[in-house]
Each structure stands twice: as structure tokens, then as C-alpha cells.
Amino acid sequence: MDLIDFKNFSRDRQVELEVELNPGRYIVIPRSTGALMSKPVSWNDKPATPLTDKEGQLTKAFESVIEDIFRKFDLFIGRELSFEEFKAFYKCTGKPELTEFDFKLSFLDKYCSTSEGITVRGLKMFFLE
């Protein structure tokens, strides 16, 4: 594998690299310093996270991310994740193989869902837990 180009480390808000490539397959490896999260002084008892607010509810930003994840896996656009759709999502989380029995027993009964699949609200509940 050959290195085509790179950008030296920079602490700028936005860094771009423009490269002209021949047709083919390439691997792009982005780097980031990450984001530092700080919390208001009044939040002495609860840790601040990018996922939840001080009341333990999902932040609006994270709810938006979950909605995007839901749309990506809702292949049949049924406004619910069927067993096959949820299984594909679940596999991406690094969890063990999910059976249809476990899906019905452990997920449909536990999270907001229909008789056939998990709704976006149910997926939010899953992430919150």
C-alpha cells in the first residue's frame, strides 16, 4: 500500500486536503483531536456527556444522530426496524449474534415498538439505556 498524500497535524477548526486520484480504491484516514466536553458548574452531581443532559435525557444532538442511524437501517422505509434491519444495526454495535426469538423477547417487548419492529422512539430508548 502506498501513501498518496497527507496533511501535517494542525489544531485548526477545519483542515482540508485536495488530491487528484486516478480511478481505483483508496483508504482515507482522517484524524481528530476530538472534542472536549465541559459542564456547567451547577452540574456538580452528574457527569456531562455528549449523549445526555444533566437530567439523564438524550441531548437534541444525539437524538438527531439516532434518527439518522434509524433512517440508515430502515431499509424498507416502514418507520420501524424489522428483525433483519435491527439485526444489521445490532451487529454494527459489536454485540453477539441476535436471534429472532431474542429480538421479540428482549427488544420488541422492552422498547417502544410495533408487533413487527422497533420504532425510532424505541431505538432512542435502547441508546438511553
pLDDT at 87 over 70: yes
The pLDDT mean for the chain works out to 78
Please indicate, yes or no, if residue 86 is contained in any of the structural domains: yes
Give how far Cα 15 sits from Cα of 24, 41, 124, Å.
24, 32, 33
Whichever domain contains 79, its CATH number is: 1.10.238
Please indicate, yes or no, if residue 110 is contained in any of the structural domains: yes
23 secondary structure, DSSP code:
S
- What are the two backbone dihedrals, phi and then psi, of residue 5, each rounded to the nearest 5 degrees? -165, 165
pLDDT at 30 over 80: no
pLDDT at residue 42, rounded to an integer: 56
Q: At what angle do helices 60-73 and 83-92 cross, to 10 degrees?
A: 120
Domain with 74, as residue range(s), is: 60-128
The mean per-residue pLDDT over the stretch 43-51 comes to 56
pLDDT at 46 over 70: no
Please indicate, yes or no, if residue 88 is contained in any of the structural domains: yes
Instruction: Provide the CA 62 distance to its chain's centre, in angstroms.
Output: 8
Please indicate, yes or no, if residue 52 is contained in any of the structural domains: no
The mean per-residue pLDDT over the stretch 83-87 comes to 90
- More reliable by pLDDT, 33 or 76: 76
* Counted domains in the chain: 1
Cell of 93: 454495535
pLDDT at 44 over 60: no
Please indicate, yes or no, if residue 119 is contained in any of the structural domains: yes
Please indicate, yes or no, if residue 40 is contained in any of the structural domains: no
Please indicate, yes or no, if residue 103 is contained in any of the structural domains: yes
Please indicate, yes or no, if residue 124 is contained in any of the structural domains: yes
